Amino acid sequence: MTTNQVILWKYKNTAVDEKYQPTRTFHFDNTSITIQQQKTDITIEKNTGNVVWDGAFILSDYILRNFDLTGKRVIELGAGTGLVGLAASSNGGITTVTDITNQVELLKTNINLNPHIKNINAEELLWGTNDTIGKYDYIFGSEILYLHDQHLNLIQTCKSLSTKNTVILMIYKHRGLGEEHFFEIAENEFQVDIIPKDEYHKEFQNSEYTIFQMYLK
Ligand SMILES: C[S@@+](CC[C@H](N)C(=O)[O-])C[C@H]1O[C@@H](n2cnc3c(N)ncnc32)[C@H](O)[C@@H]1O
């Protein structure tokens, strides 16, 4: 005997693939965020930040349901379109969304598309090259473990931006790109805790996504 469970979709409408739409609006319990995307060739080496990856939605949803960021200093690494950072600021964070130089214009566009969200700015931040950017209460990152040769730089950046009270929260999908290498290095200096899947958005509890939290040891 099989049982059928009905889950009303809020994010993934199986009849419509929104992934490459020019704009998308993401609905959360207390806010909606509109994101402009750019339809360009996307390869592992370039333009990956021009669309919203599912991880950004799942992480935003998790943050909005579990943290009060009022007055907290927040930074998003590899922000792409900026969805996670915008969600953080909608929840009271004072947020800097960061990415490589080419991505900063799209980040600014998306900040301007959401005037109801305050206290957010966009800056360039190349992993491994940011010794002077300051310390943050929260560091967020969605889908940024896909470049094996950047793991060391990324961990270096997390260290530079952290105090012993900083919470680092990231999401990744296991894509067979050597993601485990990141944890092998990170665990030398950070305590890493995996967030149980039953705490994720209902539509992604059976997915290959993993949210994890890290703190300096
Ligand atoms: C797969 S996209 C994820 C974008 C967004 N976080 C999301 O989940 O929708 C990876 C992002 O990491 C950025 N990135 C890649 N290498 C980087 C580096 N060395 N320094 C800073 N950002 C980098 C890319 O430009 C891109 O925006």
Q: Which pLDDT band holds residue 20 (cuts at 50, 70, 90)?
A: confident
Taking CA atoms, 134 is separated from 14, 42, 91, 116, 211, in Å, by: 43, 32, 21, 27, 25
Q: How confident is the model at residue 9 (pLDDT cuts 50, 70, 90)?
A: low
Question: How many angstroms is it from 209 CA to the middle of ligand 1?
Answer: 17
Task: State residue 19's pLDDT score.
Answer: 77
Q: What is the mean pLDDT of the chain?
A: 92
Q: All domains of the chain, ordered by start, with CATH? A: 53-216 (3.40.50.150)
Ligand 1 cavity residues, CB under 6 Å? 48-49, 52-53, 55-56, 78-81, 99-100, 103, 126-127, 142-144, 146-147, 150
How far, in Å, CA of 145 to CA of 141, rounded?
A: 9
CB atoms within 10 A of CB 172: 23
Summarised one tens digit per residue, pLDDT across range 37-70 is 997 788 888 889 999 999 999 999 999 999 999 9
- Number of neighbouring beta carbons within 10 Å of residue 2: 3
User: How confident is the model at residue 10, as a pLDDT?
Assistant: 65
Phi and psi at residue 189, in whole multiples of 5°?
A: -125, -15
Q: Is the pLDDT score of 2 beyond 60?
A: no
* Per-residue confidence (pLDDT) for residue 40, from 0 to 100: 78
The pLDDT value given to residue 21: 86
Burial class (CB in 10 A: 0-12, 13-18, 19+), 23: exposed
Average pLDDT over residues 160-171: 97
What distance in angstroms lies between residue 8's CA and the mean position of ligand 1's atoms? 31
| Mean pLDDT calculated for residue range 105-114 | 98
Residue 143 has pLDDT above 80, yes or no: yes
Query: Can you give the pLDDT at residue 44?
Result: 87
Q: Is the pLDDT of residue 216 over 80?
A: yes
3 alpha carbon – ligand 1 mean position (Å): 40
Tell how far CA 172 is from the center of its chain: 9
- The β-bridge partners of 184 are none
Q: Whose CA is nearest to atom 12 of ligand 1?
A: 78
pLDDT cut 70: percent of the chain above it: 91
